């Protein structure tokens, strides 16, 4: 149970006002039809919430729910986790496992029947009502590793609500002298209708705003379109962009290295957020959001779906098995710092091109296999296994030569063409930089049109075994690499 002094209550004021009570955090709420308001601690509120969820789940499934997997933010402390588990226990629920919310969101997508498990770098952007969380995750062979996280209270759904509140409040003041933000009841009405308008603009291009007796008994009605909304909320939308870009930079990566972006949280329904990301990331990056992908999962349900899927996977496990699989000795494993791959040798066009086999940030032990086409005529094949690292290559346009003579005007020339000519922008692309050579293996007498299979097996201590053989052939060669010191 946390003390009041250990929290920053500023961010909670968007929805409720916390206060100190018996050396912990509490709220004063009217939870009874009659009588005085009650002072309820965070622990008790959490227990009540879980009880309500259990009741709803039991009514829906027709079966009594007595255990659960709970998704928590990545920056939850051990004390917060202990308090959550205790609250669940008081509600009659056994917590099978606590998983991180971004991992739950990613699991919801990877757990779909049509999903294919592949090595990828994923950004999970969780935009909630009062805070935003961005996590960069490396998925390697179905194993998830968190590379970086960012948390922010300055840009969230409540700030988009505030933008609309200010917009309609100023419009109301134009026709009336009263500011509806100055009186508590008027402010509550303004906030409630602004939030409804925001949700309507996520579905359609226009929305109406109507409040009966907004201030001093005066009714107010107005309209706003999506373009106007996106314009007045530009500062908040730009904040979302910067938050994602900072998390990627914190992970030591570039936007060109991101394979997938998953939008989670209720605010992610806003089309402008996904559209901005579509402009930031390269075309090959998949943006999973309702406005960009018809098959996207509801962002508001992502974490819950992932936690439910995890619960279905481990519901038959014993407590000892779950504790063993989530022990630090199992979950905190070594990772490859650099990618391991081979230099392509199939033809002149691809000769010397680095092909990654085991990606960086892959948890070990790991085993990967690749087939390399031999030269068309067949013969001996030399396999060179090397380390590789990716970096972003920036190509600047060549400077145009300056004219040495006077330009003679042509009466028939089209001046508009000259004005439309713009300087070429610099281009950025992800390229591989080959590092040290780990091994060289030779396969002799490969048949015409054949291929060579290379298997790289990295042990838990980072020692590596490399084997190569002709596909369909017998024998092969094998090399052992000791673990780096």
Question: What mean pLDDT do residues 181-205 have?
Answer: 94
228-247 mean pLDDT: 96
Is 387 among the domain residues?
yes
**Residue 219 falls inside a structural domain:** yes
pLDDT of 351 over the 60 cut: no
* 378 within a domain of the structure (yes/no): yes
Query: Is 108 within the bounds of a domain?
Result: no
Task: Give the residue with greater pLDDT, 5 vs 156.
Answer: 156
Q: Is residue 390 part of a domain?
A: yes
Mean pLDDT computed over 261-280: 95
> Which pLDDT score is estimated for 399?
63
Rounded mean pLDDT, 414-427: 55
* pLDDT above 70 (res 81): yes
Whether the predicted pLDDT of 162 surpasses 80: yes
Q: What average pLDDT does range 145-165 have in this prediction?
A: 92
Clarify whether residues 221 and 345 are in a common domain. no
What is residue 483's predicted lDDT score, i.e. its pLDDT? 78
**In this structure, is residue 8 part of a structural domain?**
no
Above 50 in pLDDT, residue 169? yes
pLDDT for the residue 14:
62
Instruction: Kindly report the CATH number assigned to the domain that includes residue 203.
Output: 3.90.640.10
Q: What is the pLDDT of residue 476?
A: 82
Residue 103 clears pLDDT 90, i.e. is over it:
yes
Give the pLDDT score at 420.
47
**Domain ranges, residue 197:** 157-234
26-49 pLDDT, tens digit each: 888 887 888 888 888 889 999 999
Q: Domain boundary at 234, 252, 284, which?
A: 234
Read off the pLDDT of residues 89-99 as tens digits, 9 standing for 90 and up: 999 999 988 99
Average pLDDT, stretch 242-267? Answer: 93
Would 130 be classed as within a structural domain? no
Return the structure tokens found at 150.
């960012």
In a domain, 389, yes or no: yes
Average pLDDT, integer, range 187-205 = 95
The count of domains in the chain is 2
Q: Pick from 172, 201, 234: which residue ends a domain?
A: 234
Residues 356 and 473 placed together within one structural domain of the fold:
yes
Identify the CATH number of the domain in which residue 448 sits: 2.60.34.10
Of the listed ranges 111-125, 133-147, 336-350, the least confidently predicted one is 336-350
* Strands ordered across the beta sheet of 260-264: 143-152, 132-140, 120-127, 260-264, 286-288
- Which among 211, 234, 257 is the end of a domain? 234
pTM of the model: 0.78
Identify the pLDDT of residue 329. 45
pLDDT, one tens digit per residue, over 396-415 is 776 666 555 555 545 454 55
């Amino acid at each position: 149970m946390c003390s009041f002094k250990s929290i920053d209550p500023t961010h909670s004021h968007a929805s409720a006002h916390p206060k100190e009570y018996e050396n912990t955090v509490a709220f004063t709420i009217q939870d009874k039809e009659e009588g005085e308001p009650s002072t309820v601690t965070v622990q008790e509120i959490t227990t009540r919430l879980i009880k309500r969820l259990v009741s709803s789940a039991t009514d829906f499934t027709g079966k009594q729910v007595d255990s659960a997997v709970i998704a928590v933010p990545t920056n939850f402390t051990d004390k917060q986790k202990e308090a959550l588990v205790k609250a669940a226990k008081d509600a009659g629920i056994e917590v099978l496992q606590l998983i991180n919310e971004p991992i739950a969101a990613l699991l919801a997508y990877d757990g779909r029947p049509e999903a294919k498990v592949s090595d990828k770098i994923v950004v999970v952007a969780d935009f909630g009502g009062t805070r935003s969380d961005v996590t960069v995750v490396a998925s390697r062979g179905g194993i998830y590793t968190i590379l970086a996280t960012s948390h922010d209270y300055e840009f969230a759904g409540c700030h988009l609500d505030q933008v609309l509140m200010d917009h309609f409040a100023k419009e109301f003041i134009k026709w009336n002298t009263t500011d509806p933000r100055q009186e508590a009841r008027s402010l509550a009405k303004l906030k409630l209708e602004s939030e409804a308008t925001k949700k309507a603009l996520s579905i359609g291009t226009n929305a109406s705003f109507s409040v009966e007796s907004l201030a001093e008994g005066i009714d107010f009605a107005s309209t706003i379109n999506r373009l106007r909304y996106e314009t007045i909320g530009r500062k908040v939308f730009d904040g979302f962009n910067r938050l994602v870009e900072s998390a990627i930079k914190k992970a030591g990566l570039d936007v060109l290295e991101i394979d997938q972006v998953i939008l989670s949280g209720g605010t992610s329904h806003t089309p402008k957020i996904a559209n901005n990301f579509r402009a930031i990331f390269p075309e090959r990056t998949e943006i999973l959001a309702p406005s960009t992908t018809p098959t996207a999962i509801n962002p508001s349900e992502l974490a819950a779906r992932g936690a439910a899927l995890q619960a279905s996977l481990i519901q038959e496990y014993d407590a000892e098995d779950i504790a063993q699989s989530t022990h630090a000795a199992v979950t905190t494993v070594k990772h490859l710092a650099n990618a391991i791959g081979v230099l392509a040798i199939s033809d002149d066009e691809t000769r010397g091109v680095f092909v990654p086999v085991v990606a960086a940030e892959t948890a070990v032990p790991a085993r990967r296999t690749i087939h390399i086409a031999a030269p068309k005529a067949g013969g001996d094949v030399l396999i060179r296994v090397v380390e590789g690292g990716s970096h972003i290559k920036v190509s600047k346009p060549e400077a145009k030569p300056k004219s040495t003579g006077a330009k003679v005007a042509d009466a028939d020339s089209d001046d508009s063409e000259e004005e439309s000519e713009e300087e070429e922008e610099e281009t950025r692309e992800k390229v591989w930089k080959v590092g040290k050579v780990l091994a060289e293996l030779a396969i002799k007498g490969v048949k015409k049109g054949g291929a060579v299979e290379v298997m790289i097996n990295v042990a838990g201590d980072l020692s590596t075994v490399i084997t190569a053989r002709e596909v369909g052939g017998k024998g092969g060669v094998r090399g052992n690499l000791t673990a780096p010191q």
